[in-house]
Each structure stands twice: as C-alpha cells, then as structure tokens.
C-alpha cells in the first residue's frame, strides 16, 4: 500500500518538473512572474507600465510673442462681439400651388415649415438685423441671445430686394441690449481680415475667420456688389454679421456658393451684403417702415453695344428727361455705364429728388440729358382679363405656336434672363415674327423669368387682346406684336 503511494507521488513530481521545464522554455523567466500578477475585471493579466510625461511646452510664450498676442486679441475681439449676435428659429405654414404643364394652378396644399438663421443686435432698444429670407413667410419667430434668454420678435420692415429684414425684440420696457456699430464698407479692402459669426446648423453662436476674397460680386439680378469671403459660412449663418478686427459690422452674411443645391455646405465661397447698403435700408425702415430707393423708369437690355432702352415708364423720370426707346445709355452722373446691373445700382443709391446727368447715344449721336430721381414704387399688378371671354390656355398657346425653354444655370450666371425660343409653328400667329434662338424677356412689358411665367402670361393675354412680346435677337432688342387669337365660330 505504501509502495503504491510512493509511486503516485513520484509520478506527480515527475509531471510537475516536466510541466515547469516546458513552461519556462516557452515563456521564459518572465512567464513565472506573470503567474503572480493580479487579474483585471476582464480576467486578463496586466502589469503597470512606466510612463514619463513632459511638463514643459515646446516653446516659451516669449519665443512666440506675436502669435500669443494675436491669439489673445482674437479672443478679446470675440468676447466683445459674440454677445451681440443672436440665433433665430422660425416656424409657419407655406401654401404650395400645384401647377400643371401650362403653368395653371390645379390646387393648393399647405406645408409646415421650420427655419434657422442668425441676426445681430443694432440698437439698445432691441432692433435686430437679419436676412429677409430667414423670416419670410414665417409668422412664428423666436430669438435666443448669447446668454440663453429667449424672446419673441415682431417684424418692423423688410427689404426683399436687398434681402434684409429688421426685427424688434419683445422685451420688457426699459431692458437694454448691446448693439454692434456699423463700419464703413466702402473702406473694405481685398485681403482684409474678417470674422463671420452666426448659428450654423442650429449649433448656436459660432465664429469663423477668413479674409475678403473679392468685392463687388454679383450672384443674381438683385444681389449685386456683395463681399466674397473665405470665412466658413454654412446654412444657419444667414443674417449674422461679418465683422472687421475692430468688431464693426462690415457686412451681413447672406449666401454661399455650393455645387450641391440639395445639400449646400461651405465651399470656401461666401457672400455678405455691404454694411453701408444695410445701414441705409435699416434707417429707411425705422423711419418709414420700408426701404427707399431711387427710380429712373427704364426697361433695359444688355447688348454688345451697351445698355439699350427697351421701354419707358409713362411719366417717369427717364421719359420726362427725354430718353427714348432704342437709346444706348453710356454715362450716368459722370460714370461710364458697362452693364444693366451697374446702372440699376447707381440709380437705386441716388438720393431722392437729386438731378443727375445722363449721356445717351441715339442713332450714332450723343445727347446729354438731365433727370430728377424719384422714389421707386412697387410694380402695379397686371389687370386680370375678363374671365367670361377667356378660353382654355392649351387652345390659345396652340394658336400662337411658340415653344420656349428656360436658360441653363450657366447661361444665367453669364447674365441671361428670360426664356429662349426653341421652335415656332409655321401656321401659328408667331410665325415670321419670332424664331428659334430669340431671347424673350417680357410679355406686355411684364418680365418673364421662366417658361411657366411665359406660358401663363401669354395664355392670359393672347386669348383676349393683342400681345406685345419683347425679345433680343443677335444682341439687338426688338418686339413682336401679336394679334388676339381669333375666336372660333360657335
């Protein structure tokens, strides 16, 4: 019995020695120490690592003194400016017309809308500047200030053409706010350091820095002479200020360039409305509730020879001054005219009641005229035709016999506006009057911006009365007078 126990113990000893030898051969002496290490919660073994951290910056502040001062100054600037910037949240319901292929309304649906934007406080009483497109059609407006307070707001006035709106905070009487000062945008220089502040994507007040990339940029017929900046501007920044290194407002951020229209984002090209234009609109709205602009009373077209007059407003300043259809406008108030945009901008900025000199070319002869600028008024709505005499639009458009297309995005960026004739029926009323390639700009002196407007205006007019179509062919302005579509014998 004892001999059997001795043999078992001998076998255990031999097995233990053999196992230990194999373990040491495979894991080394470090393997032995791991047998005594503590396990963590996951059941694995860990031995603490030694790590010596640095306690010194690579450079002393004295070695980067200029950068340190710049960093401190930018921080100081933002601390002074950001409290005057607000976030704007809007909500409402938009009515959408359901339009058929002829531009006729076949129903209306109501769609809930929500929006976000930015604004800047410009008076101690709580007046806020923002973009008109931020609050357009949105009856519910909520303002959130930098310190987290929320207010309702009312609309004091709007300037859709400049894309500016003035709001007033619904605050307790006597509450004071911290406004920003306007800078002089006429002194802004290419390459100047600027900062854009706003509420991108609803994240709250954010700051981006950059420079003035270009001045006098135009992105549409109404948005002209804008500042271009590479400071990051994203959806939600609209209405926020572009400030200089003194914290003065030199522009109101309004648009970005993005090749993806469905999901616009920063591409390094943003646009801001110059502060001088914004300030003029603000003062006019505070004083009269609406913007005040100069008016000359011309309908024009760009041609290779210059800006040509197509038509004049009856009794307007231009007609009173002696300007006639067909004249080329060469000079306005001492400045040579190169484009319609330049002329319109100059007229709108002219003080109401001021007399200006114009030089026009009429059939090769230069003439110097003088006009008194009046206040621009909203265009009167075209009279509605007698519905008892109208016919189906398809019938009218078939009788006229003209087909058109919209301008491409590239063509519009080059300054084209209106629609392009793609074909004319040889049996229609437009035969021998219009031809493929003509650029139609108006129907009965009402501008057309797309083919739906053209077909709608043409169908409403030609079925009951003679119709005038203004167009440009090979750079020359012309007009086609169409008779009313004859009524069929019943």
Q: State the residue for tokens 């000199």.
A: 357
Active-site annotation holds for 238: yes
Backbone angles phi, psi at 450, to 5 degrees: -155, 175
Tell me if 108 sits within 8 A of 95, measured CB to CB.
yes
Extended strands (E) in 105-262: 105-121, 127-130, 140-144, 150-159, 164-169, 193-198, 206-217, 226-229, 241-243, 249-256
Strands 467-473 and 294-295: unpaired
| 441-446-447 Cα angle (round to 5) | 40
Tokens of 7: 């043999």
SS3 453: helix
- Does the active-site annotation cover 163? yes
* Active-site position among 89, 118, 133, 461: 133
Q: Is 338 a catalytic residue?
A: no
Q: Of 87, 118, 159, 163, which is the active-site residue?
A: 163
**Assigned token pair, 342:** 């330049």
Which residues 6+ apart lie within 8 Å of 312 measured at CB?
A: 297, 298, 299, 318, 319, 323, 324, 325
* Locus of tokens 């401190």: 72
Residue 398 backbone zone (phi > 0: left; psi -120 to 50: alpha; other: beta) = alpha
Question: What is the chain's Cα-based Rg?
Answer: 36
The active-site residue, picked from 238, 272, 417, 442, is 238
Q: Cα torsion at 269, 270, 276, 282 (round to 10°)?
A: 160
The gap from C-alpha 448 to its chain's centroid, in whole angstroms, comes to 22
Which positions are catalytic? 133, 163, 238
């Amino acid at each position: 019995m004892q001999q059997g126990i001795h043999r078992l113990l001998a076998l255990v000893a031999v097995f233990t020695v053999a196992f230990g030898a194999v373990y040491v051969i495979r894991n080394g002496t470090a393997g032995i120490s791991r047998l005594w290490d503590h396990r963590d919660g996951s059941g694995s073994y860990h031995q603490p690592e030694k790590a010596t951290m640095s306690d010194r910056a690579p450079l002393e502040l004295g070695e980067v003194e200029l950068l340190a001062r710049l960093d401190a100054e930018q921080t100081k600037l933002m601390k002074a400016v950001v409290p005057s910037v607000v976030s704007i949240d809007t909500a409402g319901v938009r009515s959408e017309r359901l339009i058929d292929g002829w531009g006729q309304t076949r129903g209306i649906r109501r769609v809930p809308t929500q929006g976000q934007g930015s604004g800047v406080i410009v008076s101690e009483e709580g007046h806020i500047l923002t973009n008109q497109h931020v609050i357009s059609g949105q009856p519910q407006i909520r303002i959130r200030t930098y310190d987290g307070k929320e207010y309702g707001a009312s609309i004091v006035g709007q300037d859709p053409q400049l894309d500016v709106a003035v709001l007033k905070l619904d605050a307790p009487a006597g509450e004071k706010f911290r406004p920003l000062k306007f800078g002089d945008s006429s002194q802004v220089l290419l390459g100047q350091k600027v900062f854009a502040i706003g509420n991108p994507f609803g994240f709250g007040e954010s700051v981006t820095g950059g420079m003035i990339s270009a001045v006098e940029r135009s992105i549409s017929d109404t948005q002209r002479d804008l500042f271009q900046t590479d400071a990051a501007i994203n959806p939600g920044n609209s209405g926020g200020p572009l400030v200089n290194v003194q914290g003065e407002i030199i522009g109101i951020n309004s648009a970005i360039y993005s090749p993806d229209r469905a999901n616009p984002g920063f591409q390094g090209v943003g646009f801001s409305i110059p502060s001088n234009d914004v300030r003029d609109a603000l003062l006019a709205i505070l004083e009269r509730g609406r913007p005040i602009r100069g008016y000359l009373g011309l309908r024009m077209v760009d041609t290779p020879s210059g800006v040509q007059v197509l038509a004049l407003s009856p009794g307007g300043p231009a007609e009173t001054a002696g300007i006639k259809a067909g004249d080329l406008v060469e000079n306005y108030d001492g400045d040579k005219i190169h484009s319609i945009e330049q002329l319109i901008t100059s007229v709108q900025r002219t003080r109401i009641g001021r007399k200006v000199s114009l030089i026009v070319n009429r059939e090769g002869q230069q003439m110097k005229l003088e006009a008194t600028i009046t206040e621009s008024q909203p265009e009167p709505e075209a009279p509605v035709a007698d519905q008892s005499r109208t016919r189906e639009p398809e019938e009218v458009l078939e009788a006229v016999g003209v087909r058109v297309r919209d301008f491409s995005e590239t063509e519009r960026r080059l300054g084209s506006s209106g629609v392009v004739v793609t074909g004319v029926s040889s049996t229609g009323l437009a035969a021998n009057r219009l031809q493929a390639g003509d650029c139609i700009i108006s129907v009965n002196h009402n501008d057309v911006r797309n083919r739906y407007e053209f077909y709608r205006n043409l169908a409403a007019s030609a079925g009951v009365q003679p119709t005038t179509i203004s167009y440009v062919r090979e750079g020359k302005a012309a007009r086609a007078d169409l008779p009313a579509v004859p009524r069929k014998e019943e």
